[in-house]
Amino acid sequence: MSADATTSDTARDRPFLGMLCKIIAMLMFAIMFASVRWLGPHFPIGEIVFFRSTLGIPVIVVAAYFSGGLHLLATKRIDSHALRSIAGVISMYCNFTAYTLLPLADVTAIGFAAPLFIVMLAALLLRERVHVYRWSAVVIGFIGVLVIIGPGTRMASGTTIGVAYALTSAALAALAMIFLRRMSAHEHSTAIAFYFMLTAAVISLFTLPFGWNFPTGTEGWVLIASGLAGGVGQLFLSFSYRYGEASLLAPFDYTAMIWAVALGYFVFGELPMANVWIGTIIVISAGLLILWREHRLKLARDRAVSSSAL
């Protein structure tokens, strides 16, 4: 049994603290993405990924230390970490690139398509049985994505490629989550985050010969802030799942849209267009339908296990 699985019932019986941690995590990630958008014209993506990952590593190590000890970072499954981390790193590169090309809220809304890709990949790779409810949610969700990226979307330079990067990022993030499902039974969450950040830092370092810019003044502080915000966000994300069940906390992922709209408006003077709002509502509704269906299936499985134990 994993260390995560041994989390006490007492710790998990603090749902409001878990929800607060999840909301703070989404805020920190939104600050990180706003920093990435601001840094886009000044630094190559590889350099931004390096700072985000390298500065996040100490935060994860501290989290492991206070969660039970540095032994939580030990692993004998480097191959599993490699698959999850490589998919996650490529997703991060695509995601950061999308944020340099599109408004914050637009990329955030498209990112909500990740659960739709998870359903598809679970059926293809894990051979999970996906019934009409979840397939219907996938179809509805992608209709919402089409609304977001439809004719009403800003047609500034780079919009089309930005949308492509955002969708690729969502698909690869879903693939990383599929690998994560296989790992969660035997790997601690801090170890998963640690090896992901380490892989991202190492891979991004190879982009150094292609031209990095020396950070100075405000640019340097924003670059540092992007890394620290990402690390702190990862820390609060881990804390949230210590205090609350995943099914309870999942809907709070969508608070990212609130932070994205606020930061987009106050920092960049951006407001989502009508089609983005409409599409976001559709995609979020599809995600909640998938979440509801997963909850129902879990209850059915639990009842089956209880009956068989009698």
Tens digit of each residue's pLDDT, the chain (310 residues): 344 444 445 555 678 888 899 999 999 999 999 999 999 988 999 999 999 999 989 988 888 888 788 888 888 778 888 888 999 999 999 999 999 999 999 999 999 999 899 889 888 887 777 778 888 889 999 999 989 887 655 545 558 899 999 999 999 999 988 887 777 667 777 888 889 999 999 999 999 998 898 888 889 899 999 999 998 888 888 778 778 777 678 888 999 999 999 999 999 999 888 889 999 999 999 988 888 877 676 776 666 666 665 5
Distance of CA 145 to the CA centre of its chain: 17
Q: What is the predicted pLDDT for the residue at 198?
A: 93
Is there a domain that residue 4 lies in? Answer: no
Place of tokens 């949610």: 137
Task: Note the pTM of the prediction, 2 decimals.
Answer: 0.86
Between the alpha carbon of residue 46 and those of residues 99, 146, 213, 310, the distances in Å are: 14, 30, 11, 56
Q: Residue 32 domain-assigned?
A: yes
List phi, psi (to 5°) of 153.
-65, 150
Handedness of CA 231, 172, 41, 163 (dihedral sign): negative
Quick check: is 240 in a domain? yes
Residue 100 lies inside a defined structural domain of this protein:
yes
Alpha carbons within 13 A on the beta-carbon side of 99: 32
Question: Residues 222, 40: contact at Cβ < 8 Å?
Answer: no
pLDDT for 181 equals 74
Number of domains in the chain: 1
Supply the pLDDT for residue 80: 81
**Does residue 3 sit within a domain?**
no
Domain containing 14 equals: 10-207+214-309
Closest by alpha carbon to 259, among 37, 96, 33? 33
Q: Does residue 5 belong to any structural domain of this protein?
A: no
Residue 253: inside a domain, yes or no?
yes
Own/partner long-range contacts of 145-150 (Cβ < 8 Å, ≥24 apart): 145/110, 145/113, 145/116, 145/279, 145/283, 146/279, 147/275, 147/278, 147/279, 147/282, 148/106, 148/109, 148/110, 148/275, 148/276, 148/279, 148/280, 148/283, 149/110, 149/279, 150/275, 150/279
Exposed/middle/buried for residue 41 (C-beta within 10 Å: 0-12, 13-18, 19+)? exposed
Q: Is residue 98 part of a domain?
A: yes
Rounded to whole angstroms, the Cα distance separating 144 from 43 reads 33
Nearest to 267 by CA among 23, 48, 40, 22: 40
CA–CA separation, 113 vs 163, rounded Å?
Answer: 12
